[in-house]
Chain A
Amino acid sequence: MSTRRASSFVHGCDPGRRRRAKAVRAAAVAVLVVVAAVGATGCGVEDGTTGGAHRGAGPNERQTLRGNVVVSAAASLTDVFEELADRFERAHPGVRVDLDAGSSTALATRILEGAPADVFASADPASMERVESAGLVERPHAFAGNELAIVTRPGNPHGITGLADLAGHRSAGGRTPFAGAERHSGSRGSGEGVGVGIVALCAESAPCGRYTAALLERSGVTIPEGSITRGQDARATLAAVAEGDAAAGVVYRSDARAAGDRVATVDIAGADAVRAEYLIAAVRNSRHRDVARSFVDLVRSDEGRSLLEDAGFTRP
């Protein structure tokens, strides 16, 4: 779980100039100046109102946004939300977005215990329902979907083709040097009795862990607990394969894409039977609810959606 400060300085825009512009009192003038500045520097985005019909923004309400907001987002959203936060900060120079990424379950628990979040983006409806039923968030919106995929070491040295291969059924086959790829990996893959070695899965409490359990059950595959390392969220699980020694892991398709060539991706047959559903909502007692809503709007806008799709997420 990392809190990150998205800096607008690295992107070649001059925040100071727009911050000065923003200080102009009259709202109308400020809007004009900001629009002009954004247009001139060419690094702005639309105001985030694309999907924001519920705001009912009259001309007088369209004042400049300001304030620091914390966006608590499922770990799998990290890259997309970092990019969106950067764009949001560039479009609204008075705004700072801090991203708090982690397992949706943990984030929901923290919000329930009073952690100061302004936006909550969950990787499953259950986590969102926990905070919603406590009356802590505004109406949630589904904004993306995801599917699970297997990631392996680059080149897929164990020749994994599906979930069943993760359960250690192939221990004998994996040991026999019948294929070039197997031979190439030498003896490294052959643990005692376990086919491919350690498999990284999400903790059962995290949404990706629940999705994985559901998919394994549907597939009739049982992986012995002793050969599973549990990551606290999707990205920790990914790291066990991308940076560590886990032979394979089950993560979201978007995670697999984010890891690039550090992993090989293996499609899971029937993965679409268990689809992750992402929901986002502004937190009710946020001190900057207008900023929070505007960020939600940006995520749900065409711009947000296309970023999400580029990253491997599906439409909601």
Chain B
Amino acid sequence: MGALLAVAFLGLPLAGLLQRASWSTLWADLTSEQSLEALRLSLVTSLAAAAVAVLLGTPLAWILARTEVPGRSVIRGLVLLPMVVPPVVGGVALLSAFSLRSPIGGWLHDVFGLQLTFSTAGAVLAAAFVAMPFLVLTVEGALRGMDERYERVAAGLGADRFTVFRRVTLPMIGPSLAAGAVLAWARALGEFGATITFAGNVAGRTRTLPLAVYLELESDPQAAVALSVALLAVSLAVLVVLRDRWWVRS
């Protein structure tokens, strides 16, 4: 009975969304100038955020799984924090670290002329901040589950650390790395709170799909629903891509 309620609770909002969508104008709503702009921006920022997560998160996952660095539990906590902290709070935190009034943000601007707030780079930063944990946790789990003897043998045969990682570790955790990257990308694509708080809501620069949905809900609900359906379709696609990890294997 409880399970039934849970299924209804999870399923009804989706059904409501699909029922509310005006299918005949869906394509027109999705290809309007504003929608395309938000769509393009969302693709750019979410892919960039996923790339940042892979580039920075993989080494971090390796350190968490393979080394005994002091303060590892603190690092692990830092990694988990963006998952549990409300994204808006993350945005405020980013603001206090990187706004023009903050020491770092002011320095970045004075020395490099770089302003993260209200810029696409800022939107990427906000998305990467919330998306990185998904990659780190996925990759760390894979590293822990992997048989370390392969690495030791490679090292014993004279390979240096980087070669071991590139030729042995990476191929073995490849599927998990890809899954983590897809998860991080999906999270980045849906990012709202940190983005609107930190990067603002500038058309063509930081107004990603979720921001456009939120804003258009008031002026053009039909377009908002169309964009929501598009995001839902993407999420479903992610589930299908990752189905082996969650559905079949378990």
The interface of chain A, by Cβ under 8 A from chain B, is 103, 105-106, 109, 186-188, 191, 197-198, 200, 203-206, 225-232, 240, 243-246
Q: Cα distance A197–B118 when bound, in Å? A: 10
CB pair B95 A243 closer than 8 Å: yes
Q: Which residue of B lies closest to A240 (CB)?
A: B200
Q: Cα distance A197–B203 when bound, in Å? A: 15
Q: Cα distance A240–B228 when bound, in Å? A: 26
Given contacts A228-B203, A230-B215, A245-B115, 19 further A-B contacts (CB under 8 A): A105-B219, A203-B215, A226-B202, A226-B205, A229-B200, A230-B201, A230-B202, A231-B201, A232-B201, A232-B218, A240-B200, A243-B92, A244-B99, A244-B200, A245-B95, A245-B100, A245-B105, A245-B117, A246-B118
Please name all residues of chain B whose beta carbon is closer than 8 Å to the beta carbon of A105 when the two chains form the complex. 218-219
- Selected interface stretch from B55-63, B106-114, B157-165: B106-114
B196-250, CB < 8 A from A: 200-207, 214-215, 217-219, 221
24 contacts across the A-B interface (CB closer than 8 A): A109-B221, A186-B110, A187-B109, A187-B110, A187-B113, A188-B100, A188-B109, A197-B118, A203-B215, A205-B218, A205-B219, A226-B205, A227-B202, A228-B203, A229-B206, A231-B201, A232-B214, A240-B200, A243-B95, A245-B100, A245-B115, A245-B118, A246-B118, A246-B200
Per CB-CB distance, the 6 closest pairs between chain A and chain B, nearest first, are: A205-B219, A229-B200, A245-B117, A205-B218, A198-B118, A230-B201
Assess whether B167 is interfacial by the CB under 8 Å rule: no
Please name all residues of chain A whose beta carbon is closer than 8 Å to the beta carbon of B99 when the two chains form the complex. 244-245
Assess whether B66 is interfacial by the CB under 8 Å rule: no
Q: Cα distance A99–B117 when bound, in Å? A: 31
Q: Cα distance A36–B205 when bound, in Å? A: 61
CB pair A106 B202 closer than 8 Å: no
Q: Cα distance A233–B102 when bound, in Å? A: 26
With beta carbons under 8 angstroms apart, the residue of A109, A198, A204, A206 that contacts B200 is A198
Q: Scan B165-203; emit 1 where CB is below 8 A from any A CB, else 0.
A: 000000000000000000000000000000000001111
Question: A210 → chain B, closest Cβ, in Å?
Answer: 10
Q: Cα distance A203–B219 when bound, in Å? A: 9
Assess whether B152 is interfacial by the CB under 8 Å rule: no
Question: B196 → chain A, closest Cβ, in Å?
Answer: 8
With beta carbons under 8 angstroms apart, the residue of B92, B110, B204 that contacts A188 is B110
Q: Which residue of A lies closest to B100 (CB)?
A: A245
CB pair A226 B106 closer than 8 Å: no
The interface of chain B, by Cβ under 8 A from chain A, is 92, 95, 99-101, 105-106, 109-110, 113, 115, 117-118, 200-207, 214-215, 217-219, 221
Question: A75 → chain B, closest Cβ, in Å?
Answer: 13
Please name all residues of chain B whose beta carbon is closer than 8 Å to the beta carbon of A232 when the two chains form the complex. 201, 214-215, 218
CB pair A203 B218 closer than 8 Å: yes
Question: B88 → chain A, closest Cβ, in Å?
Answer: 11
Please name all residues of chain B whose beta carbon is closer than 8 Å to the beta carbon of A188 when the two chains form the complex. 100, 106, 109-110
Known: A188-B109, A191-B115, A245-B101. A205 touches B203 (CB 8 A): no
Please name all residues of chain B whose beta carbon is closer than 8 Å to the beta carbon of A198 when the two chains form the complex. 117-118, 200, 202
CB pair A229 B113 closer than 8 Å: no
Q: Which residue of B lies closest to A106 (CB)?
A: B218
CB pair A244 B214 closer than 8 Å: no
Question: B34 → chain A, closest Cβ, in Å?
Answer: 10
Q: Cα distance A103–B95 when bound, in Å? A: 24
Q: Cα distance A185–B202 when bound, in Å? A: 24
CB pair B117 A244 closer than 8 Å: yes
Question: B123 → chain A, closest Cβ, in Å?
Answer: 12
Q: Cα distance A204–B212 when bound, in Å? A: 13
Q: Cα distance A240–B217 when bound, in Å? A: 21
Please name all residues of chain A whose beta carbon is closer than 8 Å to the beta carbon of B204 when the two chains form the complex. 225-226
Q: Cα distance A310–B205 when bound, in Å? A: 39
Q: Cα distance A204–B113 when bound, in Å? A: 31
Please name all residues of chain B whose beta carbon is closer than 8 Å to the beta carbon of A225 when the two chains form the complex. 203-204
Please name all residues of chain B whose beta carbon is closer than 8 Å to the beta carbon of A229 when the two chains form the complex. 118, 200-202, 206
Question: B95 → chain A, closest Cβ, in Å?
Answer: 6
Please name all residues of chain B whose beta carbon is closer than 8 Å to the beta carbon of A191 when the two chains form the complex. 115
Question: B21 → chain A, closest Cβ, in Å?
Answer: 16
Please name all residues of chain A whose beta carbon is closer than 8 Å to the beta carbon of B105 when the two chains form the complex. 245
Q: Cα distance A187–B112 when bound, in Å? A: 11
Q: Which residue of B lies closest to A229 (CB)?
A: B200
